[in-house]
Amino acid sequence: MNPKLCSSNQIITSGMYPFTKGQLNHLLVQRHKNGLEKAIVKIGKRIYFKIPEFDQWISEHTQKKTKQII
């Protein structure tokens, strides 16, 4: 497996991200609306996260939330 591609199970078990399986599934279902599609690779029926793009997506959304609070 390419270390830059991870399945949702690998993301959950890695402990690097604060998402549950249900939260990741929701993000995946809504990926066309929330902009996550650029961080996803679909190979057959399997869906993988491109880790650098996923990290960037998280930081962009964290910054948006922080700016809204201030």
Tokens standing for residue 53? 């793009």
Residues spanned by the domain of 56? 5-69
Which residue has tokens 């939330």?
Answer: 65
Q: Is 2 helix (H, G, I), strand (E, B) or coil?
A: coil
Phi, psi (degrees; rounded to nearest 5) at 59? -65, -35
Per-residue pLDDT of 51-62, as tens digits, reads 999 999 999 988
State the pTM of this model: 0.81
The phi, psi pair for 62, rounded to 5°, reads -70, -40
pLDDT at residue 48 is higher than 60: yes
- The tally of CA atoms less than 13 A away on the side-chain side of residue 38 is 9
pLDDT tens per residue across span 16-38: 999 999 999 999 999 999 999 99
User: Total structural domains in the chain?
Assistant: 1
